[in-house]
Amino acid sequence: MKKTVTRLADGRELLYYDRRDDIVREAVDRRPLDAVSTASEIRHDPLLGDAVAIASHRQGRTYHPPADECPLCPSRDGRLSEIPDSDYDVVVFENRFPSLAGESGRCEVVCFTPDHDTSFAGLSEEQAALVLEAWTDRTADLAELPRIKQVFCFENRGAEIGVTLGHPHGQIYGYPFVTPRTALMQRSVAEYRAATGRNLFDDTVARELADPVRVVLEGDHWVAFVPYAAHWPYEVHLYPRRRVPDLRELDDAARTEFPQVYLELLKRFDRIFGTDDPPTPYIAAWHQAPFGDGGGFRRADFALHLEVFTIRRTSGKLKFLAGSESGMSVFINDVPPEAAAQRMREVATSR
């Protein structure tokens, strides 16, 4: 992998990740952009103990542009975009409309491919491996920033999810705090170790493998399963078999196998509801350990894993967060996890 760092016209950082070492990136952003002005702040809820990002400048962000005006496509044929070069493999750049900025954190966009009309599932294994390298490199770089406490790599896919740009892309958030969801995991893991002397992540994976009714697919180095208490109609968790706290700690064998396993998983998501439905909307979220120990939790006890889920519950119908979910955070799932896992096995592309 070759990494090239440059700046956009308004001063934001942009990074090219290329598979070939002989690629030269010298294109200059020629757009007349003003310096980015953000109004991001973090407010803490004293009752719930969580944090809310207030970011009023995001009201003006780009919203469903036509394909020929996509800001994530390369700059070609006289049209200038967020990527100055006429082609690329993978690109990461600072978000022009960040939810988190300055002392409030950092937000980046990850463009998986220059092909506007494909998806992550349509990438080759080489391309997917390069995205993994980019996620890993960004995690390593953001870990060096004193204000960043946790790195979150994720992809939102589909208009139903709320995606405003159709080009295949994801995002990376660098939070200046430990997110509430991760804090709950940390607490559960610490309490479980105190009570049993064992690791909760390890035992969870072991239980799924011992009775594989919810296992979706297995590789030599990765295992994917629908969790026992799945919140979403179709929700799959992907774990490396060797527990590591974050992407930086994956070994070469796990990195090599990841594209095969993950691309197969995403292809199955697109086949759940049949060919008459549009591509399945989903969120794919990497859970990585926050930086540093504390509060009775050891960072080494955390298990890196990827959670993928869709809000579509059946053909043509979405799972909306109604009163119980939105008002009290108590989910009601219409699809039994065992039935979801069975369906995910039925739609294997190798069948």
Q: For 250-267, how does the pLDDT look when each residue is reduced to its tens digit (9 = 90+)?
A: 999 999 999 999 999 999
Strands, E, within 136-279: which ranges? Answer: 150-157, 169-175, 215-218, 222-225, 234-240
- Whether 234 maps to a domain, the answer reads yes
The beta-carbon contacts of 63-66 under 8 Å, at least 24 apart in sequence, are 63/164, 64/159, 64/164, 64/165, 64/166, 65/165
Tell me the three state secondary structure of residue 299.
Answer: helix
Per-residue pLDDT at 351 = 52
CA distance 24 to 36: 27
* 202 and 117 co-located in one domain: no
Residues 269 and 308: beta-carbon distance below 8 Å:
yes
Q: Which domain holds residue 264?
A: 180-346
* 149 and 210 co-located in one domain: no
Tally the C-alpha atoms within 13 A of residue 13's C-alpha that lie toward its C-beta: 13
Per-residue pLDDT at 37 = 76
Instruction: Find where tokens 């440059």 sit.
Output: 6
Q: How confident is the model at residue 59 (pLDDT cuts 50, 70, 90)?
A: low
Tell me the three state secondary structure of residue 59.
Answer: helix
The tens digit of pLDDT for each residue in 200-225 reads: 999 999 999 999 999 999 999 999 99
Q: Please state the rounded mean pLDDT for residues 127-143.
A: 98
Q: Please state the rounded mean pLDDT for residues 165-179.
A: 96
What's the structural domain count of the chain?
2
Stated as kind and residue range, the H or E segment containing 261 is: helix 252-271
Per-residue pLDDT at 146 = 93
pLDDT of residue 145 exceeding 80, the answer is yes
Q: How confident is the model at residue 65 (pLDDT cuts 50, 70, 90)?
A: confident
For residues 57, 137, 30, 78, the Cα torsion angle rounded to the nearest 10 degrees is -100
Find the catalytic residue in 167, 169, 237, 287: 169
Q: How confident is the model at residue 60 (pLDDT cuts 50, 70, 90)?
A: low
Among the residue ranges 44-48, 106-110, 294-298, 337-341, the one predicted with the least confidence is: 294-298
* 171 and 184 co-located in one domain: no
* 144 and 251 co-located in one domain: no
Q: Which of 24, 58, 293 is nearest to 171 (CA)?
A: 58
* 186 and 147 co-located in one domain: no
Enumerate helices (H) and strands (E) in the chain, giving the number of each: 6, 15
* 220 and 129 co-located in one domain: no
Is 169 catalytic? The answer is yes
**Could you say which of 175, 208, 241 is where a domain stops?**
175
* 187 and 73 co-located in one domain: no
CATH number at residue 264: 3.30.428.10
